[in-house]
Amino acid sequence: MALLSPLLLCALPASADPTDEESAEEQEIVVLGTRGARGDRTLSSGPVTEKMSQSSRSVERDLLTAAGVHRLGDALELISGVSSQNNRGGMLDNFAIRGFLGTPDGGAEYYVDGFLANRGMAPPRDPATAERIELLKGPAGALFGDVDPGGRVNIVTKTPGFAPAASATLTFGAFGTRRIELDATVPVSTKLAGRMVVAGEDSDGWRDFVTLKRRVVSPSLTWRPIEGVRLTYIGEITRFDAPFDRGVPAIAGDANAAPRHAYYGEPSDGMTRFRNNRHQVTALAKLGGEWVLNGGLAWRTGSLRGFSSDQSRLVNGRTLWRQRRSRDFVVDDLSARIELAGQIGTHRLSLGAKGYLLDYAERWMRRNPSAAMPYAIDVFAPVHGGVQPELLPFTDNRERRWSGTLYLQDMWELGSRLTLGGGIRFDAYRQQIRNNRTGATGRTTGEPVHFRLGARYRVNQAIALHANWGESFLLNSGTDRFGRGFAPERGKGHELGITGAWTGIDVALTWFNIRKQGILTNDPIDSNYLAPIGSLKSRGIEMDAAIKLAGRWQVVANYAWTRARTDDSSFATDRVLNVPEHAGTLFVLGRFRDAAGRGPSFSAGLSYVGDRAGGIDGSGLVLPAYVKAKAAAEYALSSAINLRAEIDNLFDARYAHSSYSPVWIFPGQPRTARVSMRLEL
């Protein structure tokens, strides 16, 4: 079959909601926090996904604020089965879901408003623009037609409302942190409304010489020209500047032995500058009856440029040899989607198409250390300012992808208790990676077909059983140490679970078993490159609970047992980087406000992360288990003025947050206090 044009208007949510209102029957996904009564379903998961994905969770804006979410990983701690991964020198959000990680260089893929938002690369997300963060787990988390047995993250952006509102938040914290957030929505008429979200943050940093400067501007418009038609524009301009920071090395197998504040790069390398510009338009049209046409277009451009001095080898237990690098990455990503959804009898059908064009260039220069030129620094008494080696050409690749997808899915209600779901997906793709240094070009093409099936049985009004099975497919970027491209990642997985929902109580217990092949990780022979794992299998049990008591207390608790192992004989260990077998979180929030909105609120959280592999190179490095606590107190002087004080890592635990190799370990942040004032109109 000929390649589908990826700019056919392409696929949207797993099923579009024919109304703006989210009815009680459609809110099957567990909401952590309080969701507003109305939502733009062109940006979020649809009722099919929400009903069939019983292990999924949505963290709402009020809980994001109460939990002190300052990065994407903070929000994902509230949901079981997520583990932190290498942050690429502090330049990306990276995590694993159910033991399956994104590439160490590009990070785990995530969506913003239903569009893949970090294909190629993207800077760390700023929480100021998020209305909620959805983690759609398992094969039923087939958001916007994409199927992955592990799950997908979708960040829903703030959009305009038709009632005027404004807020401003000022934050000051340890290590010279200064931050401001402004958020204003204005109805221009009964048909047009606008919103502007602005955030700026500066910090001296808790690691020596590692400062931060971040700016985000997000304008949006919603237009309802006639009844049943809605168009939404969202823009996002991000500037993220920080020194490239590879963390610390392990000393004699101890990931916490080196001073956690010490910076082993060179301050004279200056800032690495991340630029990201994103524009999207989505539209929804009610066609009559239960039928809805839903579509969108997103265009994202970005660049990352800078120099770094990265540790390469530890000699005599305290001397770090370093390599010097320069990075010049550019991305241009255009995505489109369309879906027709409706109901025929007891069948809720959706037919969709989607596609994208990606143009991604990576230009690196590098100079490796040697005995004659070690470019060394002392671990325990670092002295900066040495003579920097001249850089040499290393990698100059340009990747282009053309991809188009068609899918069809159905949710079939067989009476009041049993619901069946299924979908078929056809992908057509071409991928070309050109090595500009050698002229060699690698090409990959394919037209795979994948399926997913699911079932949900309501035992009674409170208890339901669910089962899901699905196949996955994902194109890989980059080249190996021989300059060759990678085959796509492929996988199959299933889950079985039981959920219970009573007034104020939601609980879920899920067992999963997933196998994938072709997943990229750092090459155990040369960690400067990537290599595919022959096969990675993960199975485990997840438990999640959300409890609301007496209108004042809210408790979020989770636990995950995850056994992720590889079966590739070329790797020295079968363990997977940064994935603990045991992890859990407990978060408690109490609100004590009067009818006028005045009064205190208190919150506290505790996170446990078990032992994890810190290297796959034969070193046997293990990142030790740790427990991290947080606490916060707020006082609302009125419905418009709120004061907040919070402390993260309350007991100043010393821990390794994540690792790429034994010499690239990112230490956990020490005790950090912040105070803020929020004004609302």
The pTM of the full predicted model, rounded to 2 decimals, is 0.92
- Contact by Cβ (8 Å): 625, 47: no
Write out the DSSP string of 378-389. ESSS----PPPP
DSSP 48: H
Backbone angles phi, psi at 487, to 5 degrees: -70, 160
Residue 44: predicted pLDDT: 74
At residue 16 the predicted structure's pLDDT band, cuts being 50, 70 and 90, is very low
Q: What are the helix (H) ranges across 276-411?
A: none
Q: Mean pLDDT in the chain?
A: 90
Contact 431, 399 (CB under 8 A): yes
Would you state the structure tokens that stand for residue 446, as one six-digit string? 């394919």
DSSP 8-class letter at 38 = B
Q: What is the CA radius of gyration of the chain?
A: 24
Residue 5 lies in a domain: no
For residues 301 and 284, give the distance between their C-alpha atoms in angstroms, rounded to a whole number: 25
Confidence tier at 2 by pLDDT (50, 70, 90) = very low
Residue 105 confidence class, pLDDT cut points 50, 70, 90: low
Q: Is the pLDDT of residue 8 over 50?
A: no
Confidence of residue 484 (pLDDT cuts 50, 70, 90): confident
13 is a domain residue: no
Model confidence at 10: pLDDT above 50: no
3-state secondary structure of 544: strand
Q: What is the pLDDT of residue 479?
A: 74
Q: Is the pLDDT of residue 15 over 70?
A: no
The beta-strand segments (E) located in 247-318 are 272-288, 291-315
Given a cut of 90, whether residue 335 has pLDDT beyond it is yes
**Domain count along the chain:** 1
pLDDT, tens digit, for every residue of 430-451?
999 999 998 988 888 999 998 9
Confirm whether 11 is domain-assigned. no
Tell me the residue type at 17. Answer: D
The range of the structural domain enclosing residue 476 comes to 32-680
Indicate the pairing of strand 30-32 with strand 57-60: parallel
Q: CA-to-CA distance for 665 and 314, rounded, in angstroms?
A: 13
How far is Cα 532 from Cα 521, in angstroms, rounded to an integer? 6
Evaluate if residue 403 carries a pLDDT over 70.
yes
Biggest alpha carbon distance in the chain?
77
Residue 442 confidence (pLDDT):
86
Choose among 221, 216, 209: nearest CA to 270: 209
Q: Which two tokens stand for residue 8?
A: 């056919």
Indicate whether 2 belongs to any domain.
no
What is the structure's pLDDT at 550? 85
Partners of 498 in the β-ladder:
465, 509
Q: What is the pLDDT of residue 176?
A: 97
**Which of the four pLDDT bands, split at 50, 70 and 90, describes residue 670?**
very high
**Is residue 48 scored above 80 in pLDDT?**
no
pLDDT at 161: 92
pLDDT of residue 444: 87
Instruction: State yes or no: pLDDT of 27 exceeds 70.
Output: no
Per-residue pLDDT reduced to its tens digit, 364-400: 999 999 999 999 999 999 999 989 999 999 999 999 9
C-alpha–C-alpha distance, residues 676 and 681, integer Å: 17
Element housing 600 (H / E): strand 599-609
- Residue 287 contacts residue 338 (beta carbons within 8 Å): no
Task: Look at residue 545 in the predicted model and tell me its pLDDT.
Answer: 96
Query: Does some domain include residue 25?
Result: no
pLDDT band at 486, cuts 50/70/90?
Answer: confident
- Each residue's pLDDT tens digit, 113-135: 989 999 989 999 999 999 999 99
* Structure tokens belonging to residue 168: 């401003």
Residue 414, pLDDT > 90, answer: yes
**Given phi > 0 = left and psi -120 to 50 = alpha, else beta, which region is 94?**
beta
Assigned token pair, 187: 């109805």
Lowest average pLDDT, out of 271-280, 321-330, 405-414, goes to 405-414
Instruction: For residue range 546-585, list pLDDT tens digits in order.
Output: 999 988 999 999 999 999 998 887 778 889 999 999 999 9
Can you name the residues that pair with 645 across neighbouring β-strands?
A: 633, 675
For 480, the 3-state DSSP assignment is coil
pLDDT at 22 over 80: no
Residue 5 reports pLDDT greater than 60: no
Strands of the sheet containing 30-32, edge to edge, are: 30-32, 57-60, 130-137, 151-157, 111-112, 115-116
What is the DSSP secondary-structure string of 488-523?
A: PEEEEEEEEEEEEEETTEEEEEEEEEEEEESEEEE-
Name the more confident of 471 and 48.
Answer: 471
Name the pLDDT band for 12 (thresholds 50, 70, 90): very low
Lowest mean pLDDT among 48-62, 285-299, 487-501: 48-62
Quick check: 418 and 455 in contact, CB under 8 A? yes
According to DSSP, the residues that pair with 308 across neighbouring strands are: 325
Mean pLDDT within 165-187: 97
Going by C-alpha positions, the residue among 579, 617, 653 that lies closest to residue 81 is 579
CB hemisphere CA count around 428 (13 angstroms): 14
Nearest Cα neighbor of 612 from 80, 259, 96, 45 is 96
Which residue's structure tokens are 């208890």? 463
Answer yes or no: is pLDDT of 7 > 60.
no
CATH of the domain at 635: 2.40.170.20
Q: What is the mean pLDDT of residues 82-96?
A: 92
* Both structure tokens of 503: 């007034």
Q: How confident is the model at residue 418 (pLDDT cuts 50, 70, 90)?
A: very high
Q: Which amino acid is at 397?
A: N
CA distance linking residue 681 with residue 679, whole number of Å:
7
Helix, strand or coil, per DSSP, at residue 129: helix
Alpha-carbon distance 249 to 245, whole Å?
Answer: 12
- Please give the C-alpha separations between residue 168 and each of 28, 195, 200, 313, 535, in angstroms, as whole numbers: 33, 14, 12, 47, 49
Q: Are 117 and 104 in contact (CB under 8 A)?
A: no
Give me the pLDDT at residue 18, please: 36
Task: Answer yes or no: is 546 within a domain.
Answer: yes
Q: Which residues contact 371 (CB under 8 A, 6 or more apart)?
A: none
Contacts of 126 (CB under 8 A, 6+ apart): 199, 201, 214, 216, 238
Check pLDDT > 80 for residue 605: yes
* CA distance linking residue 142 with residue 21, whole number of Å: 22
Q: What confidence score (pLDDT) does residue 579 get? A: 96
- Residue given tokens 């991604």 in the structure block: 360
Tell me if 1 is assigned to some domain. Answer: no
Residue 108 contacts residue 85 (beta carbons within 8 Å): yes
Candidates 255, 376, 394; CA nearest to 321 is: 376
Tokens of 321: 């040899």
Dig out the tokens for 466 from the structure.
């669910």
pLDDT band at 143; cut points 50, 70, 90: low
**Adjacent-strand bridge partners of 629:** 606
Pick the residue with more confidence: 505 or 532? Answer: 505
pLDDT category at 477 given cuts 50, 70, 90 is confident
Instruction: Report pLDDT for 535.
Output: 86
CA distances from 501 to 170, 541, 542, 611 (A): 38, 19, 17, 33
Element (H, E) at 74: helix 72-76
Would 54 be classed as within a structural domain?
A: yes
